[in-house]
Structure 1
């Protein structure tokens, strides 16, 4: 892992009127690393993601990209840097096929005419590289399962050759098999050397793919944890701000039973 993070947030703050949404938040993510961003509802996860994505420019603090200070005032700035964000709504067009969705807004042209052959070739190549299983690149998006739609949305984010991919609750409302498909893809993003920020409420998903976990609570950092050496109980305690909760009590009962 490189010593210089792909993205570093230094003392990021954001206010909406009288509401202080983020207070001096710190975050680093390196190439080939999956960092899970977790926290309860209202913890500031969505605000932080939108600040990185240029939707809500920060009020204070600094943002560094590959070690150099940068300004992110609008979504176009993140595209120029190489930051791709896949939101929960996916922003896919049901009436278009897979190729049409992958190249939406980035259509290839040959002599002022859409180059459908080249877009289809690149679509097949990209999906094959990511081991994404789709019946056909010409099938309408509306015909795909939730997991397949999610993988197409993630694949689309890679067309701009980003250095960082932000995934906002990518497995929400997915079944077991579909969730596994998406988590496999997250691992392949890491294998390709990309930095990944994963926002999730599902601790099983976090445990499955995250290298580190960053916890937000009430708009502030409340701990950074290496996944390999941290228990779920510790992370839940950081999320809730309490050492006594249902998860920790259940764990304690299990330890007592072993004794």
Structure 2
């Protein structure tokens, strides 16, 4: 354990000091006497389970919420932050877990929104786009056309645009809430380089993440919240078991995410075929992609930004137009309706936009595709049956708060994600497409989600897992398909896949070596190496 005195810059007064912060929503006490400090040039980790109060604390710092009691000091002076504008005037910039972007603006317009970029009221589009392209590549390594609409970007690209915008604003304090959730390894490395540049300039960063290995790379000290209160602080450089300390402070127990005893792949039904994808093509993203997923297996898919994996899940589930053929259980999939009717389930990468009904209750979200279980004659909803269905899934996935009538938009990001998954568990779907299923989900909840996925697949269901989390990929998948520039360049079976090998293949660096080691693609993989 450590105190703030062990952190860089601790000899001087903290740049940010939050003391005695309390916040309740009705009868629910969310924060209780929370203390949090950050010093100049420090990268301070902030962690806790979903619902522990991290996002609420940050929303108080940025003026989205008002604390019931407590004080905030910034730069040595007591401040009152009643709106996001107040926070930005102080130089506090936040990348929230849920992206706050204007989808109908161009990338360049979003990047400089609120800033005066013209002369005498005139803006040169050509100069604006040229500068935007240079700023994006310089700050976050992103190369996209600056005249594209934000809505046309992938989730990962939108996240990088949001980070670049905050960095360009010249922050005095930068808060990153789950910044790497949609990012692949190369983009994470670029982000870390940006953070270190800010740190060298004396700009502190508050780094909120459920990816604890990242914290060891980027942060010195971690503040842990549990049940809305301080649980302790951990010096990540102090002990080899520092991350285990963090987990135990978070959840109050040891957590094992994956079944480490299972080293061999499952044996799927050789005669069965849950998903068949033949010659799938999405212009500008995927080229002639073919693969199958059998009952009783998890097939993982990964690749860097721009590899095509961002478009794959939408194409397979009928949400994106494509060439080629997709069938589920032998039935063609040409629309989301056809996918669901064939017993398909889709947990999308952007849960707020595409997955959850944020203005509806947990109960209504869970029963949405299981109405046959709660509907009486004449189409009337049996509310008691609907509530019982919701309560069963709330208990199964430990959704918090455990109230069927809680509004989903008021839940933490991880609990929103569990609600989306619970919907499909309630419907007893036989094929799952999971696109970044544990994005923004804490370590304890991830273990619960992994256990539910394994239970379903062991019982004969099948899953297509699209993820940039390589540990998740290696821990869950029976087979792994690696994409590079719109094509499958390798298939790895459980036991032969490592995170280093996957990353080398996804970046193009390891393809020749893999082909040489294999001799050929092999009769059972039917893959062509780029």
Q: Please give the range of the TM-score, normalised by the shorter of the 2 chains.
A: 0.7 to 0.9
Q: Secondary structure at the match of 2:237?
A: helix
**In the alignment, does 2:228 pair up with 1:219?**
yes
1:134-180 per-position Cα deviation (integer Å, ceiling 9, x unaligned)? 24444444555544432221121134322011111111133333333
Match of 1:234 in 2: 245
Residues 17 and 131 (structure 1), Cα distance of their counterparts in 2 relative to 1, 3 Å cut: closer
Alpha-carbon contact 2:156-2:182 (below 8 Å) kept:
no
Q: Which sections of structure 1, spanning at least 5 residues, go unmatched?
A: 251-259
Distance in 2, matches of 1:147 and 1:193, equals 27
Match of 1:163 in 2: 172
Match of 2:58 in 1: 49
Residues 98 and 234 (structure 1), Cα distance of their counterparts in 2 relative to 1, 3 Å cut: same
Distance in 1, matches of 2:49 and 2:140, equals 33
Q: TM-score, normalised by structure 2?
A: 0.43
Distance in 2, matches of 1:155 and 1:31, equals 21
1:233 shift after superposition:
0.8
**In the alignment, does 2:60 pair up with 1:61?**
no
Distance in 2, matches of 1:104 and 1:127, equals 14
Alpha-carbon contact 2:140-2:187 (below 8 Å) kept:
no
1:222-242 per-position Cα deviation (integer Å, ceiling 9, x unaligned)? 111222114111111111123
**In the alignment, does 2:20 pair up with 1:11?**
yes
| Equivalent residues in 2 for 1:129-168, closer than 5 Å | 129-130=138-139, 132-142=141-151, 144-168=153-177
Distance in 1, matches of 2:206 and 2:84, equals 17
**In the alignment, does 2:55 pair up with 1:37?**
no
Match of 1:255 in 2: none
| Equivalent residues in 2 for 1:56-135, closer than 5 Å | 56-116=65-125, 119-120=128-129, 122-123=131-132, 126-127=135-136, 129-130=138-139, 132-135=141-144
Q: Which has the higher contact order (CA 8 A, sep 6+)?
A: 1
Alpha-carbon contact 2:133-2:143 (below 8 Å) kept:
no
Alpha-carbon contact 2:177-2:208 (below 8 Å) kept:
yes
Alpha-carbon contact 1:108-1:118 (below 8 Å) kept:
no
1:21 shift after superposition:
0.8
Alpha-carbon contact 2:136-2:142 (below 8 Å) kept:
yes
Alpha-carbon contact 2:139-2:167 (below 8 Å) kept:
no
Residues 31 and 118 (structure 1), Cα distance of their counterparts in 2 relative to 1, 3 Å cut: farther
Residues 117 and 175 (structure 1), Cα distance of their counterparts in 2 relative to 1, 3 Å cut: closer
What is the aligned residue count?
247
Alpha-carbon contact 1:151-1:185 (below 8 Å) kept:
no
Alpha-carbon contact 1:107-1:114 (below 8 Å) kept:
no
Distance in 1, matches of 2:140 and 2:99, equals 20
1:184 shift after superposition:
3.1
1:44 shift after superposition:
0.5
1:233-256 per-position Cα deviation (integer Å, ceiling 9, x unaligned)? 1111111123x4448xx9xxxxxx
Alpha-carbon contact 1:146-1:178 (below 8 Å) kept:
no
1:207 shift after superposition:
1.5
Alpha-carbon contact 1:87-1:168 (below 8 Å) kept:
yes
Q: CA RMSD in A?
A: 2.4
Q: TM-score, normalised by structure 1?
A: 0.84
1:129 shift after superposition:
4.7
